Amino acid sequence: MPELPEVETIVNDLKKKVLHRTFIALWTDTAKIIKKTSFSQFQKNILGKKIIGIKRRAKNILISLSDNYILLIHLKMTGHLLVGKWQRKEKKWVSKIKGAMSNDPGNRFLRLIFSLDDGQQLALSDIRKFAKVELWKESELLKSKEFMALGPEPLDPSFTFSKFKQLFFKKKGKIKPVLMDSKFIAGIGNIYASEILLEAMLHPESRVENLKEKDLKCIYKAIKKVLKKGIKARGSSISDYRDLQGQKGGFQKIAKIYGKKGQKCPYCNTKIERIVVGQRGTFYCPVCQTKK
């Protein structure tokens, strides 16, 4: 599933590509991706709306529209957004843009296409059809149960160590699932949680209630460092993620531990091991990462 760095990369690119554009047409072959309402009602409400702002909240892409609407897109397991131009040939969409957009098979599963007033198209590609698209009134979304429950944004300037430390007051459980809980901290998933805990030199099964202030400081610094590296690398394409141009991210090339079972730890040369923590595959160094 795309995590904070992938979604942030998409949002930053969308701002450059589609801001101030207007939706003029809509196509889908997978109406179930549209949630909360029927496709016909969704289409009626969104056509003619102008894009006036784009931001991220947790793993959600939020596109602010005219008339106080917000288009929410959650990519789930295998979805990604593309901006380009396609034409329909023999019941298939064919990219007019050469390169990754047309050559990478991962970019061919177009489920939803928004046509924009400048001739561009915003498309959702999703091989497994799990992504969700919702149209909200802004006031209703911000008051929704799901949004009210989201934890703080880890890269927000206001997210100080003091606020981070307060989150752990009376908190219990294993540290890795805690970091991945969007109600605790927004946006951290499996890949970056593993990288963060190696950076902090903590075993993924360490008990939160056993952590000292120095451990929390290490985690806090590691969160900032690893997520910023992920954004700079334009996300991780270990699986299905692609950017708006249909290209893979680069974080998988610089990741230190995720997916590297049997390879050498970059700090001590011990073989990296894999266990399951919170039902997720988890990679760690048995020497560097101390269990608390």
The catalytic site residues sit at 2-3, 59, 280
Q: Are strands 69-74 and 132-137 parallel, antiparallel or unpaired?
A: antiparallel
Q: Tell me if residue 105 falls in helix, strand or coil.
A: helix
Instruction: Give the Cα separation of 41 and 105 in Å (integer).
Output: 32
User: 98: which residues sit within 8 A by CB, 6+ positions away?
Assistant: none
- Rounded to whole angstroms, the Cα distance separating 258 from 193 reads 9
Beta bridge partners of 38: none
The CA distances from residue 186 to 51, 110, 158, 180, 190, in Å, are 25, 28, 14, 8, 13
CA 159 to CA 148: how far, in whole Å?
17
CA count, 13 A, side-chain hemisphere, 73: 28
The token pair that represents 40 in the structure block: 């016909």
Cβ(197)–Cβ(289) under 8 Å? yes
Length in residues, the chain? 292
Q: Name the burial class of residue 91, with classes exposed (0-12), middle (13-18) and buried (19+) by CB atoms within 10 angstroms of its CB.
A: exposed
